[in-house]
Structure 1
Amino acid sequence: MRTIRCAIYTRKSSDEGLEQDFNSLDAQREACAAYVLSQASEGWKLNPGFYDDGGLSGGTLERPALQKLLGDVREGRIDIIVVYKVDRLTRSLLDFAKLVEALDAADTSFVSVTQSFNTTTSMGRLTLNMLLSFAQFEREVTAERIRDKIAASKAKGMWMGGTPPLGYRPDGRSLAIVEDHAALIRDIFDRYRRLGNVRLVADSLLADGITTPCRVNGKGRSYGGCAFTRGQLYTILRNPIYAGRIPHKDKVWPGNHPAIIGQAMWDAVQAQLSDNVKGHRTTREANASLLAGLLVEPDGNPLIPVHTTREHRRYRYYVSKAHQHGTADPDTSALRLPAREIEQVVKQELTSLLADPIDLVARCGIAITPAMFERLTIGCEQLGVDLRRGSNAKLKALLHRIVVHRDRLDLVLSPSGLIELLKIEEPESVPGEVICKTRVRLTRSGRAIRLVHDNGCTITGDPYPTLLGLLVKGRRWWVELARGELDVAGLARRENVNPSYLTRVARLALLSPSVIEAILAGKTRTDLDGNRSLALVGRTSNWAEQQRLLIA
């Protein structure tokens, strides 16, 4: 007789009573184990593994024990899943459909020991769906009742649980002030009124050695003892609980707890926060171009940001100011750089410099001590992250200017700015500026000027869309010609193209694998367009020669 391997799955929605020696999970497992034992004559055998989810809702499949169980099912270790009731497995019809699909794929079934039905018949499946519909309905009604109760209680000013904000402790259905922490909250509000900037408040607290108080949450875990972040300070300054109110979604109700912050102070801080947010938004919009004010030509003529809109898409460039304003020598060619490419170059080069802090400070003439090494390493790593995210202020503090030559870019670094950003001790004398030359040059592709590496690859590494389209079309046409059902003339008529053009495109199917990989990776020569590619491919079928002609 074939052995049928059985696994028992148990679940309880709340963690109430789970600390007892014999709890609901044990009762479910005992009933299921007895059922498996009663089927021993059929070859049923219980697996020794435990799959228990305590304190987890049946409205989701993201449960550790259930995921472990499904993993064992996929690996073919289980033939039947035994549950006390179907709703222990899931309370969602949609999730149940996913489970059935996964079980069918692994040739696994499930059994409910308290509900008898046969899912091989249409009536059995209807019965099962009805049971699950009622289970889902029960869960949703319970959730609605809980939400309504919380909303009604908060409208009466009650505290409905959770982690109390700093400065308070739970006091039944209200909050009581913790005076030591409340003094810190008042100090934070006073500092913001005086300094007017959350970042400055965070810096001043750090300078004074003030950290978040150590507290213990409801589960007995301690937290705190670290520096205040700007996000934490924003949350404190925006929290209406400190003004004696209880928030719920988009409404705020008068609370039953005492206020830490007076109404006048609260209103003044909220107005100040709103004004500052508006100011930041204006600044961000004005500084959309990351390198504005930094790019110059070798003769000192600045490059200014401009943009154009085509088919609802915005394209940004940096162009010579003299040509843009019509004051340049008409015999000289205008410099027009794609903004995305040059901004990416600058961020890549600066990040590369920051990846080797010792070499960078040596270039800037800064002598470091062993005690400075840790701060220098951490500071350079964080600064690299900020630059990749597009921090305009830090970029301009680190760079004096960027000189755009035809054969390279010169990044003119500010050693004093680097010292200030890294917060390291400033030596007696440092050079005013340091020039770092990049291996990037300008080239003309059609009517546009592009930035490329010394090896000829584009900066962005994006594949050329036209060349990709030709490659796909050429492979498709080559396959159809190879079948022999159509000749070149017949296929050209069907595709409404010239036979000569079809032949040249179909030859792209003869490209070497390395050339195809280069096309997909955007490593072909920058001066290649669709027509030039077809002309070069038509010269030779030798793979080495193709690589020389097409790859940067």
Structure 2
Amino acid sequence: MEQSDRVKQAHWGDLKGLNLAGLVRLSFELNHDDPHANVRRLPLSGKHIGGRDEQEKDCRTYVESRGGIYIHTCVEPDTSAWKRRRAQMPDGSYAYRVVRPIFEGALGDLKRGATPSGDRLDGLVVYDIDRLTRDNRHPEDAIEVVEHFHRPILDITGTLDLLTDNGRAVARIVVATNNKQSADTARRVRRKHRALEQAGIPTGGRRPFGWLADKRTVNEPEAALIRETAQRILKGAPLSSIVDDWNDRGVTTPLGNKWTNQTVKTVFRNPRVCGYRSRNVREINPQTGKESFRVEIVVNEAGEPVIGQFDPILAVDE
């Protein structure tokens, strides 16, 4: 088969003799600025998108109903097609990009015309255009594969057409629109979090050490340990001895891990321990370009600390 024939054949809905893979993306977006914050994750669109099995089944059914052979599934777990992250470029500099190694790997497989296991690969199927991308750079990468490597990329809902000039023009517009919707959603989520901060309301998925799962009620055994240890710190006890003591007692972090110097520091440097509402702040060093995170006290319009809607463990002077 001529290379260009694959795209023409797929354009007419005929997949006979073509080996196709499916791209399944399980999409969740952080609803906070800080990617390391303990925050609850929500589906970006607010609507249910089928899980892996459902998307894979739909892609397989689409291919096989048109005479094609479904040979492979590329799975992107918990991956954003919009959220940009700091990434190092080939020249050593840093830039913000949507990081999707599985997606990029799938396009690479298409260019080579082979799956990771070595089977012939003629094209790619996705659930809909949102499963493919919400970033303006990625459609161009996908279009390159279709135009220059002659491998069709299809979606099963009919919202994506990369096989014709008109379809590619529309796809660029749709992706740009979806990108704006993502930005609008992120802005609303940030505004909501700022309001929750000012009200002193705790958020986040992982419970902080010293509190129960509601993040408001004190966990008495853990709180007693924090109070006892605070007195030891005030008397000059070295951090390493505290870490060893907590581990020897069989006390674990909220994730069930052993304590380290850094995780113990995190407990006592968090303003929440004395009742203040805190937040995570991301900073970029302008000289080195390195990213760091710190915790700071949330203040109101008068510059006063916001009191959290949870029980404190230590007094402010402690």
What TM-score do the two structures reach when normalised by structure 1? Answer: 0.39
Partner of 2:211: 168
1:176 and 1:208 map into 2 onto residues whose CA distance is 22
Report what 2:187 is aligned to. Answer: 144
Kindly indicate whether residue 66 of structure 2 is the aligned counterpart of residue 35 of structure 1.
no
Quick one: which amino acid aligns to residue 262 of structure 1?
Answer: A
Per-residue deviation, residues 444-495 of structure 1 (Å, max 9, x unmatched): xxxxxxxxxxxxxxxxxxxxxxxxxxxxxxxxxxxxxxxxxxxxxxxxxxxx
Q: C-alpha deviations, 1:484-517, integer Å up to 9, x for none?
A: xxxxxxxxxxxxxxxxxxxxxxxxxxxxxxxxxx
Give the 3 Å change call, closer, same or farther, for CA 160–51 of structure 1 in structure 2: same
| CA distance, structure 2, for counterparts of residue 125 and residue 58 of structure 1 | 18
Q: Give CA-to-partner distance per residue, 1:132-177, whole Å, 9 cap, x none.
A: 0122122222222222222212221111123222211222xx4211
Runs of 5+ consecutive residues of structure 2 not aligned to the other structure: 3-16, 29-40, 44-48, 84-97, 115-120, 282-295, 299-305
Corresponding letter in the other structure for 2:103: L
Cα offset, 1:117, TM superposition: 6.3
Q: Is the 8 A contact 1:188 1:201 kept in 2?
A: no
Q: Contact 1:175 / 1:257 at 8 angstroms: preserved in 2?
A: yes
Which amino acid is the alignment partner of residue 19 of structure 2?
R
* CA 1:63–1:211: 2 relative to 1, 3 Å: farther
Q: 1:47 to 1:209 in 2, by over 3 A?
A: closer
Map 1:317-328 → 2, pairs under 5 A: none
Identity between Structure 1 and Structure 2 (%): 24
Q: How far apart in 2 are the matches of 1:68 and 1:29?
A: 18
Q: Deviations over 1:237-268 (max 9, x none)?
A: 32100011111245522111111111221xxx
Return the structure number with greater helix share: 1
| 1:65 Cα deviation after fit | 4.6
Q: Give the structure 1 partner of residue 123 of structure 2.
A: 80
Please report the RMSD computed on the Cα atoms of aligned residues, expressed in angstroms.
3.3
1:7 to 10, 17, 21: 21
Deviations 1:273-318 (A, max 9, x none): xxxxxxxxxxxxxxxxxxxxxxxxxxxxxxxxxxxxxxxxxxxxxx
> C-alpha separation between the residues in 2 aligned to 1:168 and 1:104?
56
Q: Quickly say closer, same or farther: Cα 1:73–1:178, change in 2 above 3 A.
A: same
CA contact 1:191–1:201 (8 Å) conserved in 2: no
Label 1:10 to 1:206 Cα distance change in 2 as closer, same or farther (>3 A). closer
Q: What SS does structure 2 have at the residue aligned with 1:264?
A: coil
Shift of 1:51: 2.2
Specify which structure has the bigger relative contact order, considering alpha-carbon pairs within 8 angstroms and separated by 6 or more residues.
2
Alignment gaps of 5+ in structure 1 = 266-552
CA distance in 2, matches of 1:31, 1:209: 49
Report the residue type matching 2:180 in the other structure. Answer: F
Question: What corresponds to 2:265 in structure 1?
Answer: 234
Equivalence for 1:352: none
2:106 to 69, 73, 78: 69
Listed as ranges, the matches of 1:138-537 within 5 Å are 138-171=181-214, 174-195=215-236, 200-203=238-241, 206=244, 210=248, 213-215=251-253, 217=255, 222-224=256-258, 226=259, 228-229=260-261, 231-248=262-279, 249=281, 250-252=296-298, 253-265=306-318
The TM-score, its normalising length taken from structure 2, stands at 0.65
Given the superposition, is the C-alpha separation of residues 31 and 55 from structure 1 closer, same or farther in structure 2, using an over 3 Å criterion? same
Compared CA separation, residues 236 and 214, structure 1 to 2 (3 A): closer
The answer as to whether partners of 1:73 and 1:103 remain within 8 angstroms in 2 is no
Aligned-partner residue type, residue 219 of structure 2: V
SS of structure 2 residue aligned to 1:98: helix
Q: For 2:150 and 2:110, locate their aligned partners in 1 and report how far apart those are by CA, in whole Å.
A: 9
2:90 corresponds to: none
Read off the aligned partner of 2:26 and give its amino acid letter: K
